[in-house]
Every structure is written in C-alpha cells, then in structure tokens.
C-alpha cells in the first residue's frame, strides 16, 4: 500500500480551549487513501473526550486538510481568543459562530470571530497499528536489542517483531515496559540456537565492534576463536535462516577499524552468504530531524539483486528541532551542578541556553547551537563527555528522559521507576536514533514490496 508522511504539528483539545501545543518537526506515516494534496495535510493528537460521539477519542490522531472555511456541522480546528485552539463542530448563526462538542450535553462556545485552520478528513485510532494492518507485515528479529530503538523504527515503518534478544537484564526491564507482544529474551547470543529461531524476513542488530583475527576468519564459521566475535553469531543466524535481508548498525569508525580489515571481513562474509550489500554513514541531525551530532554506519543487505538495486538510503532532511524542544520543564535538583565542585570550573563558560556543552576533564567544550554531541554510555557517570545545559534554574546535566528524546524516542516512552540513572544513561547512550532507523526501514520496505 502507498504511504505518505505528514507533519504532526502538536496536540489539540476536544474540550476546553487551551493554548496550542506545538510539536516541531515530528511526522507520522499514513496510508495514501485520500485524494487531497499531501501538502495540504497535517496531523494533530487529540486530548479530551468531548468528541467521542463523533468517533474521535482521547489520544486519537486526526488528519486535517488546511482551509480557512467550513460547512455547517463540519469538525474543524478552530483558533479562538488569540492562540487558544480547540476541535469542535462549527455552525454559522446569524451574527455569530457556534462551536459545539459532539456530546450534546456539553455547552457550546459562541464567538463573533473564529479562525478556521482546517477540517478533519481522517481519524486514526492507533496510526502505527493501522498502518501495520493495512500493509503486508514483514517479520524481523531484533538482535543486540537494547531498549528497542531499532524495533521502534521498523515497527513505525510497518514491520513486525517476532523475536528480540539482548544479554542485559536491565535492558529487558525497559524494553518489556514499552512493547506488547514479543518481549526481550535475555541470553548471550553465542548460546542462541539458530535452528530454533522463528522464521523472519529481516535481521536487525547493532553488533559490538571487535577486532577480527584473520586466521580465525580463514577457518570460517566452525572456528571457535572466529565465532568468539559476535559478528560471526549474526552471520551464522543469517546463514541458517536465509532471510530476505538485514540491517546492521555500528559506529562510524567501523570502516577504519583495524586498518579497514574488520569492515572488509564483514562485507566479504555477508557477500559470501549470498547477499548484495550497501553501507552508508548517516548523521542523526541530517537524516532524522534529531538535534544530535551522531554519525553511525548502516549496513543493508538483500538476497535478491532486484531489491538491492531498488534500495536507496534516505535523503537528507532539514533539521527543524532544537535541544530546547526536547527539554523537561521541571527537573529534579540532583541534576544541577550549583554548589558542587564542578560548578566553579564551568559556570563562566556555560552561558547559552540553547547549546549543549561538554566537560572534557580540564575545559568546557561548546557544541553547535541547538545540537547535542553524540550521546555515549558513560555520560552519566562522571566521564569526560557529560552533556551540560543551562536552563532557567541553573547549570545541569541532561536527564535520562531528555537523552531518550534526543535519540528520537517517542514522548510517551516509559522509563522504569526504580532503575538507576547510570543504567538509563548507558541504555540510551548505547541506543540508536529512532527516526533515522525509521527512515532506513521505509526505504527497505519500498525496495522489497512488489
């Protein structure tokens, strides 16, 4: 089924009008089942239940066609009293407008002037699930799954996860809190029996980068020393299950690791298994509308040469989000440096509220305005790469939730209540930028769909 991306511009109430809540830069994927020009469409998340009788529930997504007029009885996005917005049925009376909830027991609003920003043309109860039910479900397995960043990106592109694995129990606590259905199986990948894995179409994983022994490589997959490298565990699963393809993610420097030997072995191995392979370094701030300077290499392979030839990595998109858009409003005092030994060393250098700084052991480094440096697993543990910001209350480090947002995780992604900050920092530092993965997944889907 053909799909398109439209901007998700914010949240609107289906009850008492409130100031419009803007979400800059977010998009949703919907089925292209309307005759409207995509440039005339945008989406809003609904808050409130006063439009239930009209089929619009709290938490739904409504697709809006931009126009400044409406027929009597149409459901509109209305701006009243300066910047207050609401979702209501509009009726024009003699000298005024009536904005009525679908629930007739609720009193209407009357205004002499109403600014119409568009009419509702589509209601999506759960847009991710709807997209998946309307499209063929290609099945994936999620290796080195962490907290599920790669899974999120692929499921938002319409794929279905049938198996997930990681060796850290704390990752399972976060993973299972956020996903229904397939949960995280905690086990060393070296102990997984590839013959017992469920069938799948695409293998996904961000495997650790380790030095490969050339001698071990020559011995092939049966060599114990060679298989000690976790990439060979990925390769043996591919060899056994023969999926349609795979997507592997790793650090940018993989290409130059061990003077390029590591990357050559990876490509040679994958090609020897019968796959056509493409690889590219993608930066989150260029390919995911994520305000983070994070470069990662994506390795995509297909068994079918036609799929390989159809596949292209996603295009560069404009960065619209900044760090300010992702910061929490009320942050616990423990994240602030005021009164702590480091404060005196950094207070004179940390001055811009829309910049992320880093303490590099002896000096403060200022990063590109509005963009975060690469998040790392050690950032919350007093390491040299701790991200620092200045807000209205003072100078502080990023919170784990903010790190999740800077990786592109959805606003409603849950963090375990009793988990330590250091564990959460590690999880999100080790994770992926979800929107970049989604962009790659959508390109993969285009390539493998008939």
20 and 120 inside one domain: yes
Picking from 276, 145, 254, 250, the residue whose alpha carbon sits closest to that of residue 203 is 145
pLDDT digits (tens, 9 = 90+) for 62-102: 899 999 988 888 899 988 876 788 889 899 888 888 888 88
356 and 412 inside one domain: yes
Domain count within the chain: 3
Distance CA 161, CA 228 (A): 26
Distance CA 22, CA 283 (A): 25
Least trusted range by pLDDT, from 84-98, 270-284, 337-351: 337-351
Q: What is the pLDDT of residue 223?
A: 44
169 and 312 inside one domain: yes
159 and 286 inside one domain: yes
* Residue 404 · residue 415 · CB < 8 Å: yes
Strand-strand pairing, 115-124 and 75-80: antiparallel
Q: Is the pLDDT of residue 228 over 50?
A: no
102 and 237 inside one domain: no
Find the domain containing 96 and state its range. 3-127
Query: Of 20 and 387, which is predicted with more confidence?
Result: 387
438 and 423 inside one domain: no
Instruction: Record the tokens describing residue 250, joined without a space.
Output: 């790793």
Distance CA 84, CA 12 (A): 9
Distance CA 240, CA 192 (A): 12
Q: What is the CATH number of the domain that holds 74?
A: 2.10.109.10
Residues classed as catalytic:
209
Place 315 in a pLDDT band, splitting at 50, 70 and 90.
Answer: very high
Q: What is the pLDDT of residue 323?
A: 87
* Residue 171 · residue 146 · CB < 8 Å: yes
Per-residue burial over 344-357, b if 16 or more Cβ lie within 10 Å, else e, is: eebeeebeeeebbb
219 and 74 inside one domain: no
Q: Which residues contact 93 (CB under 8 A, 6 or more apart)?
A: none
Q: Is the pLDDT of residue 216 over 60?
A: no
Least trusted range by pLDDT, from 163-167, 269-273, 378-382: 378-382
pLDDT digits (tens, 9 = 90+) for 391-427: 889 989 899 999 999 999 987 889 999 999 989 999 9
Q: What is the CATH number of the domain that holds 384?
A: 3.90.120.10
Place 227 in a pLDDT band, splitting at 50, 70 and 90.
Answer: very low
Distance CA 129, CA 28 (A): 12
Q: Is the pLDDT of residue 217 over 90?
A: no
Q: Is the pLDDT of residue 447 over 90?
A: yes
Query: Which of 13-27, 72-86, 203-217, 324-338 tops mean pLDDT?
Result: 324-338
pLDDT digits (tens, 9 = 90+) for 173-200: 999 999 988 999 999 999 999 999 999 9
144 and 288 inside one domain: yes
In degrees, rounded to 5, the angle at the alpha carbon of residue 249 between the alpha carbons of residues 147 and 297 is 135
* Residue 302 · residue 248 · CB < 8 Å: no
212 and 343 inside one domain: no
Average pLDDT over residues 157-176: 94
Alpha carbon of residue 34 to chain centroid: 26
Distance CA 74, CA 208 (A): 54
Picking from 324, 300, 308, 307, the residue whose alpha carbon sits closest to that of residue 437 is 300
pLDDT digits (tens, 9 = 90+) for 280-314: 999 999 999 999 999 999 999 999 999 999 999 99
Q: What is the pLDDT of residue 270?
A: 96
Strand-strand pairing, 160-166 and 202-205: unpaired
Q: What is the pLDDT of residue 213?
A: 47
206 and 334 inside one domain: no
300 and 184 inside one domain: yes
Q: Is the pTM of this model over 0.85?
A: no
Instruction: Tell me which of 80, 106, 127 is where a domain ends.
Output: 127
Q: Is the pLDDT of residue 170 over 70?
A: yes
pLDDT digits (tens, 9 = 90+) for 326-335: 888 889 999 9
Q: What is the CATH number of the domain that holds 249?
A: 3.40.50.150
Instruction: Record the tokens describing residue 12, joined without a space.
Output: 């609107």
Distance CA 11, CA 126 (A): 15
Q: Which residues contact 293 (CB under 8 A, 6 or more apart)?
A: 283, 284, 285, 367, 368, 371, 372, 373, 374
pLDDT digits (tens, 9 = 90+) for 129-138: 555 555 568 9
Instruction: Tell me which of 99, 127, 155 is where a domain ends.
Output: 127
Q: Which residues contact 38 (CB under 8 A, 6 or more apart)?
A: 4, 6, 32
195 and 150 inside one domain: yes
- Residue percentage of the chain with pLDDT more than 70: 87
Average pLDDT over residues 337-363: 81
Q: What is the pLDDT of residue 114?
A: 87
């Amino acid at each position: 089924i053909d799909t398109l991306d439209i901007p998700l511009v914010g949240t609107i109430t289906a009850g008492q009008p409130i100031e419009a809540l803007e979400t800059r830069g977010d998009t949703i994927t919907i089925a292209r089942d309307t005759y409207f020009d995509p440039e005339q469409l945008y989406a809003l998340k609904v808050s409130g239940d006063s439009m239930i009788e009209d089929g619009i529930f709290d938490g739904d997504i409504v697709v809006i066609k931009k126009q400044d007029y409406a027929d009597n009885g149409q459901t509109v996005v209305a701006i009243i009293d300066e910047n207050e917005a609401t979702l209501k049925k509009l009726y024009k009376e003699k000298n005024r407008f009536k904005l009525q909830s679908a629930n007739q027991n609720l009193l209407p609003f009357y205004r002499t002037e109403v600014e119409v920003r568009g009419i509702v043309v589509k209601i999506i109860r759960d847009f991710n699930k709807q997209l998946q039910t309307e499209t063929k479900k290609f099945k994936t397995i999620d290796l080195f799954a962490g907290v599920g960043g790669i899974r999120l990106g692929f499921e938002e592109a319409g794929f279905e996860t049938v198996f997930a694995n990681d060796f850290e129990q704390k990752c399972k606590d976060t993973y299972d809190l956020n996903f229904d259905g397939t949960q995280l199986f905690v086990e060393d990948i070296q102990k997984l029996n590839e013959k017992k894995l469920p069938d799948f179409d695409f293998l996904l994983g961000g495997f650790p980068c380790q030095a490969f022994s050339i001698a071990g490589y020559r011995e092939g997959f049966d060599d114990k020393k060679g298989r000690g490298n976790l990439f060979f565990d990925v390769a043996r699963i591919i060899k056994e299950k023969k999926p349609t393809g795979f997507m592997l993610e790793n650090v940018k420097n993989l290409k130059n690791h061990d003077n390029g030997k590591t990357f050559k072995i990876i490509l040679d191995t994958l090609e020897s298994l019968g796959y056509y392979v493409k690889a590219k370094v993608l930066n989150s701030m260029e390919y995911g509308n994520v305000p983070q300077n994070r470069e990662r290499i994506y390795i995509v392979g297909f068994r079918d040469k036609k799929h390989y030839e159809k596949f292209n990595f996603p295009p560069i998109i404009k960065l619209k989000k900044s760090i300010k858009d992702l910061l929490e409003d009320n942050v616990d005092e423990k994240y602030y440096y005021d009164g702590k030994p480091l404060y005196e060393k950094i207070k004179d250098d940390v001055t811009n509220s829309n910049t992320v700084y880093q303490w590099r052991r002896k000096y403060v480094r200022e990063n590109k305005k509005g963009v975060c440096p690469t998040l790392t697993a050690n950032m919350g543990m007093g390491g040299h790469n701790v991200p620092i910001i200045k807000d209205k209350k003072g100078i502080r480090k990023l919170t784990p939730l903010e790190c999740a947002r800077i990786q592109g995780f959805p606003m409603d992604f849950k963090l375990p209540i009793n988990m330590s900050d250091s564990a959460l920092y590690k999880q999100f530092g080790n994770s992926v930028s979800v929107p970049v993965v989604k962009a790659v997944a959508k390109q993969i889907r285009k390539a493998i769909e008939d």
